Structure 1
Amino acid sequence: MNKTKRDIFQSAVKVFSTNGYDGATMEEISTSAGVAKGTVYYHFKSKDEVFKYIITEGVSLLRQQIQNIIKGPGDYSYKLRQLSRDQLKLVYENRDLFKVIMSQAWGGKIRHSELRELLKSYMEDIEKFLIKAMEDGTIKKGDASFLTYTYFGTLASVAVYNVIKNDSMKLDENTDSFIEHLLNGIK
């Protein structure tokens, strides 16, 4: 991605995060990016296209991270902790982007269903990861689909906790606590 497109991307994330989809305008995106409105239209035909681009990039970051961890060193116990830590870090460092993604996951418009399809592919990646962790003996065998959504929901809640607290994230401490509760429950 060239510098101008990256600037537009970052500005669009901020504008969508602050104003929501309906409140965002191409003019505000261009002003925030410090480029002419025509420059934004050169890269993106519409606000909808800008939105699709930022959510696709966001979900792609999450999916790529899973693939890197699967290919990386360690058993699935190590990889589960690494995945959880890296996903939390990614969400924390890109709060505005994930605020946009999570705020637009519900609804009946085409953009909502397109986003849900992207999230579905992400969830499928997590499910494959968790199945391998079951096969490895890291986690007990069970309904992989249910576990995937439980994992995602809990991870998202930890991310929201950190965003709301809005202080410096204690990444390792939060990851360890998350893994402890995930693997051992809250008894």
Structure 2
Amino acid sequence: MNKTKSLIFKSAIKVFSECGYRGATMDDIASNAKLAKGTLYYHFTSKEEIFNFIVEEGLQILQNEVGEVQKMNIGPIEKLIKICKLQLSFLYGYNDFFKVVMSQLWGNEQRQEYLRLKLRKYINEIQTNIQVAMDEGKIESSNSELMAYEFFGALCSAAIYKSIHTEKINLDDIINNTVQFTLKGFGIQI
């Protein structure tokens, strides 16, 4: 991503998280990025195009990290633990991005459909590890797709917990507790 697009990425996330999708304007995004409005329009034709760009780029960051875990020569449970820690660290590190994603999950507009499509791709990575663990008898057989969504949802809930508690909290404790709680639901003790 070039320097200008990086500025737009960061600015758009901030503006969308503070104003919501409907309240955000191209002027706000350009102003926050300290760019001329023409520069913004040179790269993007609409607010929805910017939204799709931040979804694509933001989730790609997480997807790249998960891809590295998938390449590791470790078992599916160890991969789930690493993915759990990665996702939580990502959600905490990109808290404004998380707010934008969560605010736009529901609805039938094109950007919301696009967001759900991108999230499905990520959740499929989780499902793959759950299915392998089931095939190896490490997790009781069940609906691996539903379990992957539950896994993702539990981690998102931990991020909501962190965003509500504004006082200083120990991120490592939250991550470790969430990993244990989530995997315990799958019948795995760590």
- TM-score, normalised to structure 1, is 0.91
- Once the two structures are superposed, residues 65-101 of structure 1 have per-residue CA deviations (whole angstroms, 9 ceiling, x without a partner) of 2211111243333222211111100010001111111
Query: What is the CA distance between 1:8 and its match in structure 2?
Result: 1.0
Query: What is the CA distance between 1:15 and its match in structure 2?
Result: 0.4
Q: Which residue of 2 aligns with 1:83?
A: 83
What is the alpha-carbon distance in structure 2 between the residues aligned to residue 141 and residue 95 of structure 1? 34
**Relative to 1, partners in 2 of residues 1:135 and 1:172: Cα closer, same or farther, differing over 3 Å?**
farther
Alignment of 1:60-139 (within 5 A): 60-139=60-139
Counterpart of 2:106 in 1: which secondary structure?
coil
Query: What is the CA distance between 1:59 and its match in structure 2?
Result: 1.9
Query: What is the CA distance between 1:159 and its match in structure 2?
Result: 1.1
**Which blocks of at least 5 consecutive residues in structure 1 are unaligned?**
none
Give the letter aligned to residue 112 of structure 2: H
Q: How many residues align?
A: 186
**Which blocks of at least 5 consecutive residues in structure 2 are unaligned?**
186-190
Extract structure 1 runs of 4+ deviating beyond 4 A: none
Query: What is the CA distance between 1:168 and its match in structure 2?
Result: 4.7
Q: Which residue of 2 aligns with 1:27?
A: 27
- Once the two structures are superposed, residues 128-165 of structure 1 have per-residue CA deviations (whole angstroms, 9 ceiling, x without a partner) of 12212333444333210111111111111011111211
Give the letter aligned to residue 55 of structure 1: V
1:171 aligns with 2:171: yes
Percent of aligned pairs with the same amino acid: 40
Alignment of 1:2-21 (within 5 A): 2-21=2-21
**Relative to 1, partners in 2 of residues 1:167 and 1:2: Cα closer, same or farther, differing over 3 Å?**
farther
Q: Does the aligned pair in 2 maintain the 1:76–1:136 contact within 8 Å?
A: no
- TM-score, normalised to structure 2, is 0.89
1:44 aligns with 2:13: no
RMSD: 1.8
Q: Does the aligned pair in 2 maintain the 1:85–1:171 contact within 8 Å?
A: no
Q: Which residue of 1 aligns with 2:56?
A: 56
**Relative to 1, partners in 2 of residues 1:180 and 1:128: Cα closer, same or farther, differing over 3 Å?**
same
**Relative to 1, partners in 2 of residues 1:171 and 1:164: Cα closer, same or farther, differing over 3 Å?**
same
**Relative to 1, partners in 2 of residues 1:167 and 1:62: Cα closer, same or farther, differing over 3 Å?**
farther
Q: Does the aligned pair in 2 maintain the 1:139–1:183 contact within 8 Å?
A: no
What is the alpha-carbon distance in structure 1 between the residues aligned to residue 83 and residue 139 of structure 2? 14
What is the alpha-carbon distance in structure 1 between the residues aligned to residue 168 and residue 88 of structure 2? 13
- Once the two structures are superposed, residues 115-140 of structure 1 have per-residue CA deviations (whole angstroms, 9 ceiling, x without a partner) of 11111222222211221233344433
Give the letter aligned to residue 123 of structure 1: I
Q: Does the aligned pair in 1 maintain the 2:77–2:129 contact within 8 Å?
A: no
Q: Does the aligned pair in 2 maintain the 1:69–1:79 contact within 8 Å?
A: yes
What is the alpha-carbon distance in structure 2 between the residues aligned to residue 150 and residue 14 of structure 1? 28
